[in-house]
Amino acid sequence: MTNPNGIVTQGQFSFLPALTDAQITAQIKYALGKGWALSVEYTDDPHPRNTYWEMFGAPMFDLKDPAGILMEINNCRKTFPHHYIRVMAFSSVRGVESPTMSYIVNRPKHEPGFGLVRQETDGRNIRYTIHAYATDKPEGERY
């Protein structure tokens, strides 16, 4: 197994132990110092190609202090305790205009992981894809 922790690894810091609030605050501070706008997103579909997560509230422009964003993260954790929650930083610099940071700050207690699905196609060719066990259940009941 390439993922010894058995957890979804997406974005930054995902091979490290979960960030503490103090560490998250420090990361937010860094992003704010760069002038990036932060937002909080959540999902319960852990597929790596699921890039568009639901946004929790509006993106937060013009904030000066990490406390406001941490407050929003905690609100999101309270609302979706068993979802994946990530913090995104967006740079509006002309020519960049894209996310610059993204890291998971909340994950389900138990992550069943992915199964390998083999599809037989023409000429006995095999197509491989991965399938999250969690997504067998409907949205909102997965974890």
Q: Which of 4, 49, 62, 125 is in the footprint of another protein by CB under 8 A?
A: 62
The set of residues, in sequence order, having a beta carbon less than 8 Å from that of 94 and lying 6+ positions away, is none
Question: Are 46 and 8 within 8 A, CB to CB?
Answer: yes
d(CA 9, CA 62): 30
Stretch of 57-65, 89-97, 110-118, 124-132 contacting another protein, by CB under 8 A: 57-65
Q: Which of 48, 57, 81, 115 is in the footprint of another protein by CB under 8 A?
A: 57
Please state the closest distance from residue 58 (CB atom) to another protein, in A: 7
Interface with another protein includes 41 (CB under 8 A)? no
Residue closer to another protein by CB (options 37, 132) is 37
Interface with another protein includes 68 (CB under 8 A)? yes
Backbone angles phi, psi at 75, to 5 degrees: -60, -45
DSSP reduced 3-state for 40: strand
Q: How far is CA 81 from CA 40, 47, 70, 86, 92, in A?
A: 14, 19, 15, 13, 30
Q: Which of 47, 50, 60, 111 is in the footprint of another protein by CB under 8 A?
A: 60
Q: Which of 21, 54, 65, 136 is in the footprint of another protein by CB under 8 A?
A: 65
* Contact residues for another protein, defined by CB under 8 A: 57-58, 60, 62-69, 71-72
